[in-house]
Structure 1
Amino acid sequence: MNSSKAYSAATEKSPLASTTIPRRDPGEHDVQIEILFCGICHSDLHSVRNEWSEFMPTVYPIVPGHEIVGRVTKVGSAVTKYKPGDRVGVGCLVDSDRTCPNCQAGLENFCPNLTLTFNSPDKHLGGVTYGGYSDSIVVDERFVLSVPSNLDLAGAAPLLCAGITTYSPMRHWGVTKGKKVGVVGLGGLGHMGVKFARALGAHVVVFTTSPHKTEDALRLGAHEVVVSRDANAMQKHAGSFDFILDAVSAEHDVNAYINLLRLDGNLTLVGAPAKPLAVSAFSLIMGRRNLSGSNIGGLPETQEMLNFCGEHNITSDVEVIPIQKVNEAYERLLKSDVKYRFAIDLASLKSE
């Protein structure tokens, strides 16, 4: 067993602080990774503060982080996909049962017995899994992903969650050249949605409540920007969208966007509002419209997404911070004070 430097929270009201955690020695199918960057996802904050206690109670101490990129330092004797020095990533999953129909179909993210990167039962060491706010991690090679050599590693880190969360539903619902795609909300998820929709060849429209985000939305690849509080501007797009990605986690009127879908159009929720959204049956019925949700992606699709990013030079817009500023970053995250994702430089752990 090895020890690793990390940042953890001891209780739901504790700040994240320096600690040491155990990591298993690499087994024959394992890859040991030096973590170089880890993105900060809003779910990290929810978990640290036990805000999802009803369906995913936090076990303390918690080491969050599931947007991990780094370099391979050691591989087990049976590993065939990776070698020391390779650039790799680890997302939200580090294991699954591998035998259920979903796993067999490459949809490990829907496995009923999946192991999350942090706060899941750890079958190797006992206790729970510890995430990427750490200087190293050991993961079965099946759950390790190859990061294209041309991508900036700090910007690539959020691809392991924010990237696949927005890419997967677009691929599932057939976003291609000639489609009209809406993206609701220009934050950590939304800005990735804009980049993917544009790269897939769609006509991209961003919906925002903040007029000052117009310039940035256009810079990221949007063709048009609609201020959603402007009823006339919304009405001009009624019944015209093939697909809308809703990345808003706050309460909002989802019917306003369902009404913008054309016949058989789809609106996919990837934001997770705390309270249920009211949906008008008539909004769906009158246009045979679809309302769906999506949750990250399986391992094959996540690798496909990373390869796509390599081909199109897509990364997340990040602000790189040292780990010592992680608590400040959490407070800023609550205020949406970041464009558009924080990435922790884990070299900063060396000074701890």
Structure 2
Amino acid sequence: MYQVKGYAAQNAKTALAPYSFERREVGPTDIKIEIFYCGVCHSDLHQARDEWAASTFPIVPGHEIVGRVTQVGSDVKSFKVNDLAGVGCMVDSCGVCPDCNDHQEQFCNDFVLTYNGHDKHTGKPTYGGFSNSIVVDQRFVLHISDKLDLAAVAPLLCAGITTYSPLRHWKIGKGDKVGVVGLGGLGHMAVKFAHAFGAHVVLFTTSAGKAEDAKRLGADEVVISKNPDEMNAHTLSFDFILNTVAAPHNLDQFMTLLKRDGTMCLVGVPDSPHPSPNIANLIFKRRSLAGSLIGGIKETQEMLDFCAEHNITSDIEIIPMSGINNAFERMLKSDVRYRFVIDMATI
């Protein structure tokens, strides 16, 4: 075991503060990474405050991790010291179930979260990227291109793959009309990807002030969802809607905008349930209401390679580690465009 510096919440009521802890030494299939940057996801706040009633304390959040390889195990062939590397939302899985065999490790019943999971090697909780170093099995480490700004790559490991995966799964491309609900950390990446795939992209927002930004990011149109006339103008016209909002809201206002056989996919996780949708809106046009998690490791690497080829990164604001609690408060007010990233040199 070796000592690591990080930031942790000791319980659901305390702010994150400096915390020293131990990580396992590098095993034969492990990779040790010096963390340069870590993105701040809304789920970090939820879990640090135990809003999903599933947190184990002390908790070290962070699952949008990028840095440089400093040590590799004896059996590691795909990485070498000094390579750029990333780690996303998971660090292990069973490796033998149908989901793992289909490169869909995120659906494995035994997948291990990067933090607040159960480390099979130590028997202790996993600790995340709000720290200066991490050790991860090579199967869950991703190659990062040196063509892109490393700090702006970090949120791709969660916000990026969370939006890329459903757009790929539903085969979004040229000729499709795609709606994106919400322009936050997830939504701004959804707009970028849908635009890059060739779709006609419509951003739904309650904030008129985000219209200019949405079009800069790739939206063809912006609809103020509080305006009934603007919403009604798009009735029965969408092939697919990606709903990124993580607060309970009326889903029916968007379901009625879908064509026959259209799908709305939810990727935001609210801390209380959405109001139940009107089932008639599903039945009479054979519409689907679906959900999506992140992607598997293979698809996440595909996403990172696509981003390197098309020069796609997140819009970020870099903060020092000591600014994390203020960043959480600003996130609650949607006061970030569009993702906080911690500079781990400040720890």
TM-score (norm 2): 0.98
Equivalent residue number for residue 86 of structure 1? 83
| Distance in structure 2 (CA, Å) of the matches to 1:149 and 1:290 | 40
Where in structure 2 are the equivalents of 1:244-263 lying within 5 Å?
244-263=241-260
Contact in 1 for aligned 2:152/2:316 (Cα 8 Å)? yes
Where in structure 2 are the equivalents of 1:181-260 lying within 5 Å?
181-260=178-257
| Distance in structure 2 (CA, Å) of the matches to 1:340 and 1:248 | 14
Equivalent residue number for residue 143 of structure 2? 146
- Residue deviations 1:48-78, cap 9 Å, x none? 111100xxx2111110000000010010010
Contact in 1 for aligned 2:246/2:268 (Cα 8 Å)? yes
Task: Please state whether the residue corresponding to 1:150 is helix, strand or coil.
Answer: coil
Q: CA deviation at 1:226?
A: 0.5
Out of 121, 134, 137, the position equivalent to 1:137 is 134
Contact in 1 for aligned 2:249/2:274 (Cα 8 Å)? no
Equivalent residue number for residue 56 of structure 2? 59
Task: Please state whether the residue corresponding to 2:328 is helix, strand or coil.
Answer: helix
- Residue deviations 1:277-309, cap 9 Å, x none? 311111111111111000011111111111111
| Distance in structure 1 (CA, Å) of the matches to 2:124 and 2:29 | 21
Q: CA deviation at 1:2?
A: 1.0
Equivalent residue number for residue 326 of structure 2? 328
- Residue deviations 1:139-190, cap 9 Å, x none? 0000000112211111100000000000000000010111110000111110
Residue correspondences, number: 346
Task: Please state whether the residue corresponding to 1:132 is helix, strand or coil.
Answer: coil
Q: CA deviation at 1:19?
A: 1.5
| Distance in structure 2 (CA, Å) of the matches to 1:11 and 1:231 | 43
Q: CA deviation at 1:252?
A: 1.5
Q: CA deviation at 1:276?
A: 3.3
Task: Please state whether the residue corresponding to 1:242 is helix, strand or coil.
Answer: strand
Q: CA deviation at 1:251?
A: 2.0
Equivalent residue number for residue 11 of structure 1? 11
| Distance in structure 1 (CA, Å) of the matches to 2:98 and 2:178 | 31
Runs of 4 or more consecutive aligned structure 1 residues displaced over 4 Å after TM superposition: none
- Residue deviations 1:119-147, cap 9 Å, x none? 11112222200000000000000000011
| Distance in structure 1 (CA, Å) of the matches to 2:301 and 2:324 | 28
| Distance in structure 2 (CA, Å) of the matches to 1:113 and 1:186 | 32
Q: CA deviation at 1:21?
A: 1.1
Equivalent residue number for residue 70 of structure 1? 67
Paired amino acid for 2:38 = C
| Distance in structure 2 (CA, Å) of the matches to 1:229 and 1:330 | 27
Task: Please state whether the residue corresponding to 1:133 is helix, strand or coil.
Answer: coil
Paired amino acid for 2:345 = A
- 5+ residue gaps in structure 1? none
Out of 279, 295, 310, the position equivalent to 1:281 is 279
Task: Please state whether the residue corresponding to 1:296 is helix, strand or coil.
Answer: coil
Out of 105, 109, 112, the position equivalent to 1:108 is 105
- Residue deviations 1:16-55, cap 9 Å, x none? 11121111111010000000000000100111111100xx
Contact in 1 for aligned 2:4/2:23 (Cα 8 Å)? yes
Equivalent residue number for residue 289 of structure 2? 291
Equivalent residue number for residue 42 of structure 2? 42
Task: Please state whether the residue corresponding to 2:308 is helix, strand or coil.
Answer: helix
Paired amino acid for 1:205 = V
Task: Please state whether the residue corresponding to 2:340 is helix, strand or coil.
Answer: strand
Task: Please state whether the residue corresponding to 1:198 is helix, strand or coil.
Answer: helix
Contact in 1 for aligned 2:148/2:313 (Cα 8 Å)? yes
Equivalent residue number for residue 155 of structure 1? 152
| Distance in structure 2 (CA, Å) of the matches to 1:148 and 1:289 | 39
Task: Please state whether the residue corresponding to 2:195 is helix, strand or coil.
Answer: helix
| Distance in structure 1 (CA, Å) of the matches to 2:116 and 2:262 | 37
| Distance in structure 1 (CA, Å) of the matches to 2:172 and 2:37 | 30
